[in-house]
Chains A and B, each alone.
Chain A
Amino acid sequence: MSDYEIKNVEWNNVIDAIEECYSLGWTDGLPVVPPEQYRVQEFIDFVKRSPTEILGEVPERRRQISVLKTAANAVMAGCLPEYFPVVVAATEAMLAPEFNLIGPSSSQGGAGILVVVNGPISREIGMNSKDNLFGPGNRANATIGRAIRLILMNACGSIPGLFDRTNIGHPGKYTYCIAENELETHWDPLHVERGFKKEQNAVTVLAAWEPRQVRSAADKYAALDSLIDVASSLGTSLANDDSVAGNGSLVRQGQLLVTIAGASDFWEGWSKDDVREYIYPKIRRSVGDLKRVQAIAGDYQEGDDDRYALLVPSPEDILLVYAGSPEASGYRSAVILSELPKVSSTAVTLEIKAPEQS
C-alpha cells in the first residue's frame, strides 16, 4: 500500500479516535471504526485481491473505486473480514453500467441501495432473513449495508448536500441489507430466478425507496390485494410521468421488490411466478386519479377513471424475496419501489466470488 493513501492520525484514547474520524469528514453521522492500515490489510488478504484492482468507476465524477478504498470503508462500517466478499460484490454491482449509479446517488428522489444476499454465504456469516428484517440487531446486515453507504459517500463522492441532492430520503440510506430465507420455502431464491445456481452466492442491488410494511388478513388473496393497493399508491416514484420520454407508457414504470414472509405452507401450491402473474396487472392507477393530482399531464376526460397506467414494465420486473417473520400472521410483506424508472436504473445481480476464485 503506497504511503500517499495513508493518513497519519494522532490519538491517545478510543474516544479521541472516534472524534478524529468525525473531524476528517469520513462518517455517515454515526461513529466509525478507524480504518487502521493493518485491519484494512486483513480484509484485502481475506479476498485475495490486489488493493489497486479497480472494482468499477463513476465516470461522471471521474472516480475509480479500488479494492483498497472499498476495504477501508468496510472496516469503518464495522464489518468483519468474512463479510468483505459480499461488500465487494455489492460494490461491483452498483457500479455496473445498467445500475447507472450516477442517477440514484445524486437524484432528489432519495434512493437507498437495497442489498439482498443469496446463497450459503448468507447463512455462513450469520445474516438475518427473518424477524426484524429491516430492523437493528444483526451485525452482518447492519454493517454490510452501512459499508455500501460509506463507499458511496467517501469513494463515489455522493456527499449529502453536494452531489447527493436527496430532498427527503429514508433511513435505508444508512443501511439497507437483508438475506433471503431460502431454507424455509419451496420457492426458488431470487438469485436462482435471475440465472444463478442455488449453491452459488450472489448479491442483488436495487436503488430503492423505503420498505412499506403491509398488514393483511391470513389469506393469500387478502395478502396480495393489500400489497397491490400499497404498490399502486399515488405520490410514489413511479406514479408520475416526470423525466422519461417515449417509453410507450403514461407513467415512469420501474421495478418493484416485495419481501414476503409467513409460514411456508401459506403459499402452498403457488410459485413466485404465480404471485407475479396475479399482482403484475393489478399494480396500476387510473388515468383519472393520476390527472387529478397532476401526476400526468392533461385535462380530465370522460372515461379516464376506467383507463389505467401500469406501474411496472413486465412481470419479471417484480423481484420477490422470501424474507420476514416465519410466524407472521398479519405483517407479511413489504413493498419496495425502485426510486427511478427502469430506463434509468435497473437491479443488478452478481456472483459473490469466494477468495479462492479471485
Chain B
Amino acid sequence: MTIADTQIHRLVDPTTSAMVPEFTLSNRLQDLSNKKVGLIDDAKENAKELLDEFSALLNEKYGVSCQQYHQKPSAGKPTEPDIIKKISEECDFVIVAIGS
C-alpha cells in the first residue's frame, strides 16, 4: 500500500483538556503552634471521628484550636464557595476528611 493510496482526513478532536488557571500557593506555615484549624467533614462514615481524633491530637501537641467545623450535606457535592471563603479567612489551615 503506497502513501498515495491514503487520504488525509480532518477530524474534529472530541476531547478537552483541563484548563488550569495560574495560581499561587498559599504560604506554608512555619509551625503549627497555637494555630487555628478548619475542619471539613465530607459526611462519609467515620469522617467526624477521624477529624475529632486528629483535632484533639493537634491541640495536645501544638495547641491548635478548631475555629470552624463544617459538615457537607453529602459527600457528592463540593463545599459551598461561601463556606470556603469563611474558613480561609478565619483559619490558618484546613483539614478535609475523606471518611470510610
Contacts and interface: CB of A to CB of B under 8 A. Distances in A.
B13 A12 contact: no
A245 interface: yes
Given A100-B77, A242-B44, A345-B76, A155 B18 contact: no
Given A62-B18, A64-B19, A102-B78, A245 B12 contact: no
Contacts of A10: 6-9
B9 A36 contact: yes
Nearest to A245: B43
B11 A62 contact: no
Interface of A: 1, 5-12, 17, 26, 34-37, 40, 60-65, 68-69, 71-73, 75-76, 100, 102-104, 107, 150, 154-157, 242-247, 340-341, 343-345
B36 interface: no
A89 to B, nearest CB: 19
Given A61-B18, A245-B71, A6 B12 contact: yes
B10 A37 contact: yes
A73 B100 CA distance: 37
B16 A155 contact: yes
15 contacts: A7-B13, A11-B7, A11-B9, A12-B7, A40-B12, A62-B20, A64-B16, A69-B16, A76-B14, A100-B76, A103-B77, A242-B44, A245-B43, A245-B73, A344-B75
Contacts of B10: 6-8, 36-37
A7 B13 CA distance: 6
B1 interface: yes
Q: Is the interface of A mostly helix, strand, loop or mixed?
A: mixed
A26 B7 contact: no
Given A12-B1, A100-B76, A242-B100, A72 B8 contact: no
B35 interface: no
B44 A243 contact: yes
A1 B12 contact: yes
B98 to A, nearest CB: 11
A150 B14 CA distance: 9
A61 B14 CA distance: 16
B43 A37 contact: no
A2 B49 CA distance: 53
B90 interface: no
Interface string B33-74: 000000001111100000000000000000000000001111
A91 to B, nearest CB: 13
A72 B77 contact: no
